Amino acid sequence: MSSVDTTTNAGQLLATASGGRRRRGDRIFSNTAVIAAVTILALLVGVAAFLVSEGLPALTASASELPKGESFIDYVAPLAFGTVLAGVLAMVIAVPLAVAVALFITHIAPQRIALTLGFFVDLLAAIPSIIYGLWGIFVLGPAAVPVMKWLEEKLGWIPIFEGPASITGRTMLVVGLVLAVMILPIVSAVAREVFSQTPRKLQEGAQALGATRWEVIRTTVLPFGKSSVISGGMLGLGRALGETMAVAIILSVSGGVSFNLISQSNPSTIAANIALNFPESSGLAINLLIATGLVLFAITLATNFIARMIIARSNVQ
């Protein structure tokens, strides 16, 4: 909203400067901008209202009334856990990779290679998620089976690689990898943008003090881009949390809360669970699914708030 106010103020200033009357173009522009801003808010409120009103019957129903015979919290908790686990896993894989790609493009690669590579990374964003899902089950999953067997044998003492390793490759680890590839273009686009804007003065100053290329990057580029990388990562996390089709197709969802990333028994995610169960549901079961959607909405909201807090704090320093 504040940006709208400044536009209006700027418009008024201009109008005053040019003889006191606001010109028609300004009026139309400021009105359009206000309408656009209000529409976004109204949409958000509308979606929230829909989720609450349709989810309420399931939220207020007792455990025995609900289709699964368990309370709403018991039903949604493993789903929320699975959602966050998949999202965090994707972030852990994608963010370092995206930062590395962005650094390579902006600071290391020769111009021509940088342009081509940037183009291809952006192209990843244009692939529909169902294609990622199919790629996951037909290519990445089977290819990951021997790797997961190896992880189970050698690193089985770490709880996340406890196994028994899946024989089909439809595991949380594969989902995390696919989601990481999906959010890579978003995160790397933001990182690339900000890294290329690192002030020349700073970089040249560091070089003048005898810093190597890595030291220049570490002391000037990375600190300068930190908050943008975080917000880019949050954008990516938002997509990973809400990703539906790829997860629904790939993941073998038959378990509850478990950190085991390579077994056939994985917690489902909220979005995938809705996609899988909505077609055959009726009555209160639909309300229940929509109520889980409300929980996803809350999770996304919370991540955004946390991201803002982190960015605000790092800006102060």
Partner 1 sequence: MSSSRWLAVLAAACVLVLGLAACGGSDSTSGTTNEGSNSENESGGGAPSAEVSGEIAGAGSTAQQAAQEAWIAEFENANGGATLSYDGVGSGGGREQFISGGVAYAGSDTPLSEDEGELGKAVKRCEPGELVEVPNYISPIAIVYNLPGVEELKLDPEVLAQIFNQEIENWNDPAIEKDNPGVELPETRIVPVNRSDESGTTENFTDYLSKVAPKVWTHEVSGEWPVKGGEAASGTSGVIEAVSAGEGAIGYADASQAGELGKALIKVGSTWAEPSAEAAAKVLDLSKEDPELEQGSKSVIAFEIDRKTEASGVYPIILVSSLIGCTKYKSADEAALVKAYFEYAISPEGQKLAEEQAGSAPLSPALTKKVEAAVGAIE
Site for partner 1, rule CB under 8 A: 50, 53-54, 68, 137-138, 141-142, 164, 166-170, 248-249, 251-256, 264-265, 268, 276-283, 285
Rounded distance, CA 118 to CA 100, Å?
12
7: which residues sit within 8 A by CB, 6+ positions away?
29, 30, 33
Nearest to 7 by CA among 41, 40, 30: 30
Minimum distance from residue 284 beta carbon to partner 1 (Å)? 8
Q: Which helix (H) or strand (E) holds 15?
A: helix 2-17
Minimum distance from residue 25 beta carbon to partner 1 (Å)? 39
Closer CB to partner 1, 94 or 151, in the complex: 151
Closer CB to partner 1, 280 or 315, in the complex: 280
Token reading at 263: 């077994």
Closer CB to partner 1, 227 or 260, in the complex: 260
Minimum distance from residue 174 beta carbon to partner 1 (Å)? 12
Residue 266, phi then psi, degrees to nearest 5: -125, 150
Closer CB to partner 1, 50 or 150, in the complex: 50
Closer CB to partner 1, 251 or 307, in the complex: 251
191: which residues sit within 8 A by CB, 6+ positions away?
98, 99, 101, 102, 103, 225, 228, 229, 232
Minimum distance from residue 128 beta carbon to partner 1 (Å)? 17
Closer CB to partner 1, 168 or 207, in the complex: 168
Minimum distance from residue 165 beta carbon to partner 1 (Å)? 10
Residues 229 and 187 sit within 8 Å (Cβ to Cβ): yes
Minimum distance from residue 251 beta carbon to partner 1 (Å)? 8
Token reading at 237: 């996390």
Minimum distance from residue 53 beta carbon to partner 1 (Å)? 5
CA angle 6, 8, 12 (to 5 degrees): 115
- What is the identity of the amino acid at 95? V
Nearest to 268 by CA among 92, 84, 66, 136: 84
Token reading at 34: 């206000």
Closer CB to partner 1, 111 or 282, in the complex: 282
